[in-house]
Structure 1
Amino acid sequence: MAERPSTVEEFRATYEDMLGFVPPRVASRFEQGEPEVLLAQERLRNLIMYPEALDQKTVQLVLFGILHAKLSDAAKLHGLAALRAGASWDELRAVIDLAFLFTGYSAANRGPQLLADIADLEKKSHG
């Protein structure tokens, strides 16, 4: 990432770039959050989300795996972001299988629905 964002609109654009849209919860935070707190949160998110040591495909696959292992609904957003960053469906399935090792059958059982949700989001983000 060449130049880091510094304004609310520039930070909002990072979500558009990553997902093709701003997720509803994030949009609410942008609309109703205290501007200085919002900027501080987004600076920290941006600093961590775009490390020099990892490409975005890797970052998004790691986040997808962590969130899926926690059974978080945010996993689908990072699964979509991973696809947009160049990951394949096979890579997403492999990450779901890895989450099974430490989360168990809950992760395995949620995997197919998670992939279907990601496919729906992908269709919506393409217009």
Structure 2
Amino acid sequence: MSASNKLPADLAAFQNSYAELFGSVPPLPAAKFEFSGDIDPEALRLAEQLRAHAFYSDIFDTKTTQLMLFGMLLVLGAGAARFHAIAARRTGATWEELHKVAELASAVVALGPLNNGSAILNELRTNEAKGN
């Protein structure tokens, strides 16, 4: 936001939810609130409603959600994984839980090409044996 503009109360509450979860607003969301809040606050509002709906549910507790997000972002190689590890710790995750998530992410990344490649090759071999 430009210095003269302030976020509407609902967007400020969304922004504050980052600080509550991470201890501060990370750089990417901070830039999102500054720029999108200025340019298209309704788009920002819709994005934050989706985030809130997904991140805070009655299905998973916040710690579990943060552990899953940590793993998903590790698989993507996204720097935001660090912030979700922080949030997981702040919501009670142990070092062992976080490490297990890193192990799972590593296995997913390492085994994915072998699983997919084997399925493709098996199908090709089967088709070749049939003369296709």
Tell me whether 1:101 sits opposite 2:104 in the alignment: no
Q: Which has the larger radius of gyration?
A: 2
CA drift at 1:62: 0.6
Structure 1 position 81 matched with structure 2 position 84: no
User: What amino acid is aligned across from residue 69 of structure 1 in structure 2?
Assistant: V
1:92 equivalent to 2:98? Answer yes
Find the counterpart in structure 1 of residue 4 from structure 2: none
| Count of residue correspondences | 100
1:1-127 correspondence runs (5 A): 7-33=10-36, 34-104=40-110
Deviations 1:30-55 (A, max 9, x none): 11111111111101110111111110
Counterpart Cα distance in 1 of 2:99 and 2:50: 30
What is the TM-score of this pair, normalised by structure 1?
A: 0.75
- Return 5+ residue gaps in structure 2 as ranges: 1-8, 112-132
Tell me, in whole angstroms, the C-alpha distance in 2 between the residues paired with 1:91 and 1:104: 20
Q: Report the residue type matching 2:30 in the other structure.
A: A
Amino acid at match of 1:90: E
1:111 corresponds to: none
Report the TM-score when normalising by structure 2: 0.72
Structure-1 separation of matches of 2:78 and 2:35 = 23
Specify the code of the residue in structure 2 equivalent to 1:75.
Answer: A
CA distance in 1, matches of 2:12, 2:105: 35
Amino acid at match of 2:51: R
